[in-house]
Amino acid sequence: MSLIGRFIDQILPVGSLTIIQADGSQETHGGGGGKHLTIRFHDRGVMREIWRNPRLRFAELYMDGRVTVEDGSILDLLELVVGARPWEQGNPRKALGKGKAKWLKRLFRRNDPTKSRRNVAHHYDIGNALYELFLDEDWQYSCAYYTDPANSLEQAQRDKKAHIAAKLHLQPGHRVLDIGCGWGGMAIYLHQVAGVDVLGITLSEEQLRLARERAEQAGVSDHVKFELIDYRLLEGRFDRIVSVGMFEHVGAAHYEEFFLKCRELLTDDGVMLLHTIGKLGGAGQPDPFTDKYIFPGYHVPSLSQMFSATEKVRLIPSDVEILRLHYAYTLREWLARATKNRAKIEQIYDARFFRMWEFYLAGGIVMFETGAACNYQVQYVRNRRALPITRDYMAAAEARYRGAS
């Protein structure tokens, strides 16, 4: 049996995989009894490249067209391999004793303001045309909230905004800071449903331009403003802070710095809502493909990492919600829309770029369906008396906002 055959047998207790080598020879491996797929290696160097760095090189080989899935999609393949061993079915004893701080690696993954600006530009300044082809009508580039898995992406994103707004306990006239405001949809929404003034900040020039245009078109630019600035350089005090899909870019080395700055920016009775991708278990190292091609400098936090940082700066977590499958539903819709617009994406960029994007979205789906990924929504306060002592206000506000939108 070949080395790749032994490897496949180890990682596939259910299902099977046929590999067609560059010379036409074939071999099939896996436990059988489930899904079967066939992949083709288009040159003799593929095997060597995979063994060099499987997590990175397989993605690159797929991007380059040197590996293809003959009877399915890259999503089918990732579902077969990653889905064979769901995270929750792993052996918890193996994780015991592995909690030593990776302080040296964290030291070399620092994101100063200049580096953060470059990292954001790498992903968000590649042109708004791409995002228009797969996002919803409001350009929400973060996990939607599916009250029903059958809902449309547009409905789920509207419900996400209402869900988050309700947790902010907004009052007319409040001054709100949106850290990592994207293309402005959340900031505009908060003003429209709650009568608040919002400052959205971003490090993306493309996002800034469109966000300002959208605020002007909506007639709210007197109350909803956007600036190109790093959160660390911002001054002032805000009644509320919201941050959706930005914390993943902060980097583990900066968690305490981030939360301390947020505490300083909040008024004494202020409230913050942080929405982020998270890890169900302990935090690990960044995925090399994602770090190189998609989000340089990113880090997906564990809940313990977040709480450890906020404990030190005396920012109180007042409510926690874990969204387990919502991002999987969101990503499936994004992938379907991107695939539908494949020809347009390849025309704007090229075929290699589309395969890169396809791999990124497909990988995200399997991580949220069977891997260790989830979404956290954590509400923070400086003062334990800043909010009502029950969660009833959230449900009432959410119903009101859904009716308004």
pLDDT at residue number 127:
76
State how far the Cα of 216 lies from the Cα of 225, in Å rounded to an integer.
Answer: 10
Q: Span 326-353, mean pLDDT?
A: 97
Tokens representing residue 367 in the block? 């991580």
State how far the Cα of 245 lies from the Cα of 266, in Å rounded to an integer.
Answer: 19
Q: Could you tell me which residue, 110 or 150, shows the higher pLDDT?
A: 150
pLDDT at residue number 108:
45
What share of the chain has pLDDT > 90, as a percent?
77
pLDDT at residue number 7:
78
Q: What is the mean pLDDT of the chain?
A: 91
pLDDT at residue number 96:
57
Of the candidate ranges 18-32, 117-131, 320-334, the one whose mean pLDDT is the lowest: 117-131
Q: Could you tell me which residue, 85 or 244, shows the higher pLDDT?
A: 244
Q: Which of 332, 324, 317 is nearest to 362 (CA)?
A: 332
pLDDT at residue number 178:
98
Q: What is the pLDDT of residues 346-386, one digit of tens each?
A: 999 999 999 999 999 999 999 999 999 999 999 999 999 99
Cβ-based neighbour number of residue 91 at 10 Å: 7
Q: Could you tell me which residue, 117 or 212, shows the higher pLDDT?
A: 212
Given a cut of 80, whether residue 338 has pLDDT beyond it is: yes
394 SS3 class: helix
The sheet that has 316-323: what strands, in order across it?
A: 224-228, 197-202, 175-179, 238-244, 266-279, 373-381, 316-323
Q: Span 91-120, mean pLDDT?
A: 58
The end-to-end CA distance of the chain, in Å, is 60
Q: Measured over all CA atoms, what is the biggest interatomic distance in the chain, rounded to whole angstroms?
A: 71
pLDDT confidence bin for 297, thresholds 50/70/90: confident
Would strands 266-279 and 238-244 be described as parallel, antiparallel, or unpaired?
parallel
State how far the Cα of 2 lies from the Cα of 142, in Å rounded to an integer.
Answer: 42
pLDDT at residue number 126:
73
Given a cut of 90, whether residue 76 has pLDDT beyond it is: yes
Q: Span 180-195, mean pLDDT?
A: 97
Q: What is the pLDDT of residues 129-149, one digit of tens each?
A: 999 999 999 999 999 999 999
Q: Span 161-188, mean pLDDT?
A: 98
pLDDT confidence bin for 11, thresholds 50/70/90: confident
pLDDT confidence bin for 116, thresholds 50/70/90: low
Of the candidate ranges 118-122, 271-275, 296-300, 363-367, the one whose mean pLDDT is the lowest: 118-122
Query: What b/e string do you get for 4-24 counting C-beta neighbours within 10 Å, with b at 16 or more?
Result: beeebeebbeebbbbbbbeee
State how far the Cα of 238 lies from the Cα of 261, in Å rounded to an integer.
Answer: 12
pLDDT at residue number 356:
96
Q: In sequence order, what E strands does 87-223 have?
A: 175-179, 197-202
Matching residue, tokens 């590649």: 126
pLDDT at residue number 103:
45
Domain ranges of the chain: 3-86, 103-404
Given a cut of 50, whether residue 255 has pLDDT beyond it is: yes
The CATH homologous superfamily to which domain 103-404 belongs is Vaccinia Virus protein VP39 (3.40.50.150)
pLDDT at residue number 101:
46
Q: What is the pLDDT of residues 205-237, one digit of tens each?
A: 999 999 999 999 999 999 999 999 999 999 999
